[in-house]
Every structure is written in structure tokens, then in C-alpha cells.
Amino acid sequence: MRALWLEDRRLAVREVPRPVPPPGEALVRVIAAGICNTDIEMTRGYYPFAGVPGHEFVGVVEEGPPELLRRRVVGEINAACRQCQSCRKAGPTHCERRTVLGLIGRNGSMAEYLVLPSENLHAVPDELPTGRALFTEPLAAALEIQEQVAISSDARVLVVGDGKLGQLIARTLALTGCALRVTGRHRGKLDLLERAGIRTLPADEVQARTFDVAVECSGAAGGFELARRALRPRGTLVMKSTYAGDLTFNASSIVVDELTLIGSRCGPFAPALRLLASGAIDPEPLIDGRYPLINSIEAFEHAQRPGALKVIIEM
């Protein structure tokens, strides 16, 4: 099969063996895959991975459980043993022996086929277009924040970052009715949020010690510092960014202000699919480009342009 291959921080389109699903796993013919910031950071050395990148996808099951055969599916990216202490205590996303689609020990979605445990797959509702369904994984990651932090209607919440994930996080938080503000560096992206009824503000207008919750999804050290500074004492800082390098910050300020620092990544697929199918969240305005697999290196170049949003690779 044809696939995009990442090795030594370099991308190449090449022919690789089509995967054979082991017992308990399904063979999925990929229709489309999305490029996210983590994929871009992988090309910069975020994690020493060699193989097919990508973890956002919509595909069709060609071999697997009867109830999913020939159905469009999306898939949770962590393949877990379900038996180790971490699985039992922290859940399958923290399995000690897990593989992760396109990230750890498992080829990803930027190929004509992939394999995943059948239990990881979720059928896409017939009425949900593939382009929207492709946002299931990042939308689930956005929803994970509300699994970890109770967001009340009177909470003052700041999202730092107006990129692909920040756009989805803002849209999910807006559904809570909280006092939400989003700050970022790109006027065009902030305008997208304003058109969705979400209030934005420039970084230099973010008042210190004002917000109950701050979500950092800018991927920049300056974004972390802005989020930290914006929090009131005993506020909560949620980190959604992955960083290729180290992050340096004043740890004393975390202690003195008694801040709660929460890491947040994978989230629940079922509610994400429901929000997309109902139209409560429409991610179509976030699609910035579509490329065939043979032009996927060009797709990555597009995804790294200033102001770029979601770029899709179609098989």
C-alpha cells in the first residue's frame, strides 16, 4: 500500500506492506486523515518515532466484527492491554504496554490502510459527512477538559491559543454558558470564533489574576506564561499543548498561588460524535486544505503556514 513515512524527522511517500490485523483487531481502509499539531511536532523531534504518522482518521472496516463491516468508523488511538496496573488505576490511555496510532509503536492513519483493536472503533452516523467526522478525535480531546474540570455557567474561563485545537476547545466550552474569552495571535482565526459567537481579546488585554480556569493550547512558552498569569489564586491551568522542547516556568508562582496544574489529552469519542452529528458543533469552517496522499508532504508544508487550520489528506 502507499503510505506517508516519517523517519529521522523526514517525510517521504513510499510503498509499505499492507497491515494484517492480529486477533481482536480490524483492518480499516482509510478515507481521510487529518494533520494536527502533534504530527507537526513529530517532524521536529517531539518523539523518536519511525513509521506512518497520523492519528485522526475516518475509514471503512474491511476486516473486523460483523456489526462494523463496511461501516465508516473513527477510532480511539490508544491500544491497551487492559490488564496492567496503569490500565486498572488510570485507564487504558495510560497503559504501560500501550501502542498509540501514529505515535508509539503502531503505524498511523496517513496510509491506505491501518489496523486498530475492534474495541477502539466507533461507527460514524450515516448523516455525518466524512469531513466533519474527521474532527472526532480532536473534538474528544477538547471535551476531555470537562471530564477533568467542572465548568459552571459562572466560571471565568480563558483559552490561550486560536489554532485547530483551541478553536474546538472554545466551541465546547461555549456550550457550558461560562464567561469565556479566547486570545491568540491570528486575526483571521479570532474572527472565526467571533462569527461563532465567542468573544476574543488581544493578549495584552488579558488581565492578571482574573480567570478561574485557563486552558493553554498555543504550544508556545509565552502562551503558558500568559495562562498562568491570568489565573486567580487557586485557579486551574489545563495544559493541552505538546512541546518539542523543554518548557521553563516559575514554579514558585504555582506554589504561592496554590494553582492546580492539569495535563489533558485524549477524550471521549461518543459525545464528540453526538455533537458533530447534531450540528451543535460545526467544524467545517476550520478545514483549510485537502490533498491527495501522493501530495502529503505538500500538505504538511501547508499545515505549517502561519494561520493555517485543519489540513486533510485524502486517500
Q: How far apart are alpha carbons 268 and 187 in whole angstroms? A: 31
Q: What is the pLDDT of residues 111-148, one digit of tens each?
A: 999 999 999 999 999 999 999 999 999 999 999 999 99
**DSSP 8-class letter at 280:** S
Q: What are phi and psi of 123, to 5 degrees?
A: -70, 140
Q: For the chain, what's the residue count?
A: 315
d(CA 119, CA 131): 23
Axis-axis angle for helices 269-278, 136-148 (nearest 10): 120
Question: What tens-digit pLDDT sequence spans the chain (315 residues)?
Answer: 999 999 999 999 999 999 999 999 999 999 999 999 889 989 988 788 999 999 999 999 999 999 999 999 999 999 999 999 999 999 989 999 999 999 999 999 999 999 999 999 999 999 999 999 999 999 999 999 999 999 999 999 999 999 999 999 999 999 999 999 999 988 999 999 999 999 999 999 999 999 999 999 998 888 999 999 999 999 999 999 876 677 888 889 899 999 999 999 999 999 999 999 999 999 999 999 999 999 999 999 999 998 899 999 999
pTM: 0.93
Q: State which amino acid sits at residue 144.
A: E
Give the separation between CA 191 and CA 184, rounded to whole angstroms: 11
Sign of CA dihedral 183, 185, 187, 189: negative
Other residues' Cβ atoms within 10 Å of the Cβ of residue 54? 29
Extract the runs of DSSP E, i.e. beta strands, from the chain.
2-7, 10-15, 25-35, 56-63, 72-75, 78-79, 99-101, 105-106, 113-117, 121-123, 156-160, 179-183, 211-216, 231-239, 260-263, 287-292, 310-314
Domains, the chain, ordered by start: 2-135+283-314 (3.90.180.10), 139-263 (3.40.50.720)
Measure CA 292 to chain center: 21
